[in-house]
Amino acid sequence: MVKYIVVTGGVVSSIGKGITAASIGRILRSYNLKVSAIKIDPYLNWDSGTLNPYQHGEVFVTHDGMETDLDLGHYERFLDVNLSGYSNITTGKVYMSVINKERKGSYLGSCVQIIPHITDEIKSRIRKISTDNKADIVLVEIGGTVGDIESQPFLEAVRQLRNEEGHNNVMFVHVTYVPYLNAAGEFKTKPTQHSTKELRSTGIIPDMIICRSEKPLSTSLKNKIAHFCDVDSKAVINCPDASSIYEVPLTMDKENVGKYIINRMELGIDECAHDLTEWKTVVDRLKKQDSTVTVGVVGKYVELEDAYISIRESLKHAAAHIGVNVNIEWINAETEINTIRLKNLDSILIPGGFGERGINGKLDAVHYALVNKVPIFGICLGLHSMVIEFARMNGLKDAHSTEFDETTKYPVIDMMEEQKKINDMGGTMRLGSYACKIKKGTIASEAYQSEMVEERHRHRFEVNNEYRELLEEKGLIISGTSPDNFLVETVEIKDHPWFFGCQFHPEFKSRPERAHPIFVSFIQATVDSK
């Protein structure tokens, strides 16, 4: 029988509900339980693909090509699983599917309503994940904060789920924030009390309250919260700010989260039979090392690190794998590219992106890396920038991508043929996992140690095949292609310490325990050239 753990949030947003839920999952995994996860986003967008990264951070791409919320990245990294696109439920998906059914006549004769039609649709999507993944535990994180109008149907659906699945099979965890008031010199529990009251007004009684705070809370304060919010004192868990997100499962384990859940849900396993040693090793490796390398990430959304969260984490995983610290300099491609800034870097990474803003800065960064032989790693738009600048430096004056200049004389990057007939913006790119054939004797083959790999994609533009031969003559090495050799997947050059661009996004597959081989190769080159 599958068990559901529903995670809601209170008081304020951005308190790390996703990390908290993922940490619960990691602890349960250490009991040898199969854990899966769902993120519910109560907005009306069908998926995250059309959202500005400044609002919601990175768009995480699943292996089956769904553009999702960044929390799915936390789940994949903490649980070491590959989630499907069904793990991201939005109001848009729920309503669209109900309306499509209504148009087909599936509800013939009835008045289609939020209860039961929308709530039934939500429940069936939640149950689908447990059956598809044959999970023992499904974590269901409801985005937003309790009290938001948008989340009402989802809260009602999970309330019903508890009645239908039974008390022992559904558990509610409420994550709140306990602020510290400097003027009063004390923590304040009132916001937690109020948000719990708000949650109760939906008919949901929390089984566990996880209190986020800047500093640790005392036992008496936790008892006070237990008393006022009417939960077991053992189920008031404190999760103070941690120096690394990977420490959160260990902090929560000390608070006996796993034990409480095992007993509360009557899982019938030994509450002590778990082992987080492997995770502890990862956390130790991620701690301070003796030497540090500095990587400059040249992008458009650098003011918000969440916009490049998987890249940031992949760099950390790779650095930990090698045994160095990584200091990331976030450099605005539009305003901050200058020699002084670039001189302080040991290597450069250009992430994916859309639109013209900042493109010249990215090309300047590639130019600098080529001239000064600094290791450089380009991902998607990063690869495009590398190919454009390489072409320009090899006689194709003003070469460009037709994404930015439709009339360029040398369109070395052009829209993929199948993309030319598409007008809609949502979910229409080349998305998800595709195979890539690797050429021997290249950075790619040395890193992957494999002739065929699978990586996740999200793009409309590609290297223009009409320029392939010419670029190869000038020294560009096409080290990875689609199996039919039609699409360029990775590029390199000789006579440079490390110049590697990929059309795919390796950052979505890096795990704390298994750093991605390309990121490892990049950090190694950074260390070597320092």
Q: Looking at beta carbons only, is 3 or 458 nearer to ligand GLN? A: 458
Considering only the stretches 11-19, 266-274, 385-393, 457-465, report the one whose residues sit in contact with ligand GLN under the rule CB under 6 A. Answer: 457-465
Q: How far is the CB of 520 from ligand GLN (least distance, A)?
A: 22
Q: Looking at beta carbons only, is 11 or 381 nearer to ligand GLN? A: 381
Q: How far is the CB of 353 from ligand GLN (least distance, A)?
A: 5
> Which x/- pattern, by CB under 6 A, does the window 160-199 give for ligand GLN?
----------------------------------------
User: Which of positions 21-50 make contact with ligand GLN (CB under 6 A)?
Assistant: none
d(CA 236, CA 187): 15
User: Which of positions 91-110 make contact with ligand GLN (CB under 6 A)?
Assistant: none
d(CA 39, CA 86): 9
List the one residue from 31, 279, 308, 461 that touches ligand GLN (CB under 6 A): 461
Q: Looking at beta carbons only, is 236 or 431 nearer to ligand GLN? A: 431
Q: Is 167 a catalytic residue?
A: no
Element (H, E) at 224: helix 219-229
> Which x/- pattern, by CB under 6 A, does the window 346-385 give for ligand GLN?
------xxx-------------------------xx----
Q: Which residue has the tokens 């083959």?
A: 445
Q: Looking at beta carbons only, is 146 or 380 nearer to ligand GLN? A: 380
Q: Looking at beta carbons only, is 279 or 504 nearer to ligand GLN? A: 504
Binding residues for ligand GLN, how many (CB under 6 A)? 10
Q: How far is the CB of 415 from ligand GLN (least distance, A)?
A: 8
**Whether the Cβ atoms of residue 73 and residue 309 lie closer than 8 Å to each other:** yes
Considering only the stretches 11-19, 140-148, 232-240, 456-464, report the one whose residues sit in contact with ligand GLN under the rule CB under 6 A. Answer: 456-464
- The residues facing 139 across adjacent strands are 5, 37
List the one residue from 194, 234, 280, 460 that touches ligand GLN (CB under 6 A): 460
Q: How far is the CB of 256 from ligand GLN (least distance, A)?
A: 42
Count the Cβ atoms, other than its own, within 10 Å of residue 195. 25
Q: Which residues contact 179 (CB under 8 A, 6 or more apart)?
A: 187, 188, 191, 213
Q: CA Rg, the chain, in Å?
A: 25
459 lines the binding site for ligand GLN (CB under 6 A): yes
456 lines the binding site for ligand GLN (CB under 6 A): no
CA-angle at 40, arms to 247 and 214, nearest 5°: 35
d(CA 376, CA 394): 18
Q: How far is the CB of 378 from ligand GLN (least distance, A)?
A: 9
Catalytic residue among 380, 457, 462, 516: 380
Q: How far is the CB of 384 from ligand GLN (least distance, A)?
A: 6
d(CA 86, CA 364): 40
Q: Looking at beta carbons only, is 16 or 378 nearer to ligand GLN? A: 378
Q: Looking at beta carbons only, is 38 or 380 nearer to ligand GLN? A: 380
Q: Looking at beta carbons only, is 264 or 459 nearer to ligand GLN? A: 459
Which DSSP state fits 218?
Answer: P
Q: How far is the CB of 308 from ligand GLN (least distance, A)?
A: 11
Which DSSP state fits 519?
Answer: H
Q: Which residues of 274-306 are buried (b: 16+ CB within 10 A; e: fewer)?
A: bebeebeebbebbeeeeeebebbbbbbbbebee
Residue nearest to ligand GLN (CB): 352
Which DSSP state fits 138?
Answer: E
- The residues facing 436 across adjacent strands are 453
Q: How far is the CB of 416 from ligand GLN (least distance, A)?
A: 8
Q: Which residues of 439-465 are buried (b: 16+ CB within 10 A; e: fewer)?
A: eeebbbbebbeeeebebbbbbbbbbbe
User: Which of positions 294-353 make contact with ligand GLN (CB under 6 A)?
Assistant: 352-353
Count the Cβ atoms, other than its own, within 10 Å of residue 179. 17
CA-angle at 443, arms to 395 and 342, nearest 5°: 60
458 lines the binding site for ligand GLN (CB under 6 A): yes
CA-angle at 27, arms to 21 and 32, nearest 5°: 125
403 lines the binding site for ligand GLN (CB under 6 A): yes
400 lines the binding site for ligand GLN (CB under 6 A): no
Q: Looking at beta carbons only, is 265 or 387 nearer to ligand GLN? A: 387
d(CA 436, CA 463): 15
Q: Is 321 a catalytic residue?
A: no
Catalytic residue among 76, 455, 462, 507: 507
Q: How far is the CB of 404 from ligand GLN (least distance, A)?
A: 9
Q: Is 111 a catalytic residue?
A: no
Catalytic residue among 174, 317, 505, 516: 505
d(CA 309, CA 302): 11
d(CA 78, CA 139): 13
* 386: nearest Cα among 376, 371, 396: 376
d(CA 445, CA 22): 33
Task: Please report, as ranges, the residues that interact with ligand GLN according to CB under 6 A.
Answer: 352-354, 380-381, 403, 458-461
Q: Which amino acids are annotated catalytic?
A: 380, 505, 507
